Amino acid sequence: MIVGMKPKESFVFAVRQAVGETQEVFADRLGVSARSVKRYELENTLPASKAVLRILESLAKKHNVSQDQSDFKAN
């Protein structure tokens, strides 16, 4: 990465920000630990759980967040 360039935000972070929740509250909504949410955001990965992915996709659609807006890699 070039110095001074900001990496794209993670999809999980973008959805959480759109919903307006803390990592702890968002983790409860997803049924995962706050540590997992932090890891998804920092490592720019997606959860392996299909149920969690469905919740994320539903929230993203509801809040107009596109995966194209973020740069993520499969977990």
Residues 6+ apart with CB under 8 A from 73: 44, 45, 46
Averaged pLDDT score across all residues of the chain: 85
Average pLDDT of the segment spanning 45-55:
94
- Report the predicted TM-score, pTM, of the whole model to 2 decimal places: 0.80
The 10 Å Cβ neighbour count of residue 44 is 18
Average pLDDT of the segment spanning 7-16:
86
3, 5, 58, 68, 75 from 65: Cα distances, Å: 27, 22, 10, 9, 20
Alpha helices (H) in 1-75, listed in sequence order: 11-19, 23-30, 34-43, 50-62
pLDDT at 4: 45
pLDDT at 9: 81
